[in-house]
Amino acid sequence: MSAPVVTPNTSVRLANRRLAWRLMWVVAGSLLFAAVQPSLYRAFCEWTGIYDIDRADKLARSTVAARAIGIEFDANSFDNGLRFSPEVTTLSVQTGDIIHLTYRVENTRDTPVIGQAVPSYGPKHAAEYVVKLDCFCFKQQTFAPHEVRQLPVVFIIDPRLPPDLATVTLSYTFFEVPAGSVQAQMAKTEAAL
pLDDT at residue number 177: 86
pLDDT-derived band of residue 37, with 50, 70 and 90 as boundaries? confident
188 within domain boundaries = no
* Residues 81 and 140 both lie in one domain: yes
The domain of 153 spans 64-178
Is residue 143 domain-shared with residue 104, that is, in the same domain?
yes
Residues 32 and 127 grouped into a single domain: no
Q: Is 193 helix (H, G, I), strand (E, B) or coil?
A: coil
103 strand-pairing partners: 86, 151
CB 99 within 8 A of CB 93: yes
User: 31 and 80 in one domain?
Assistant: no
pLDDT in tens, 137-184: 999 999 999 999 999 999 999 999 999 999 999 999 999 887 655 454
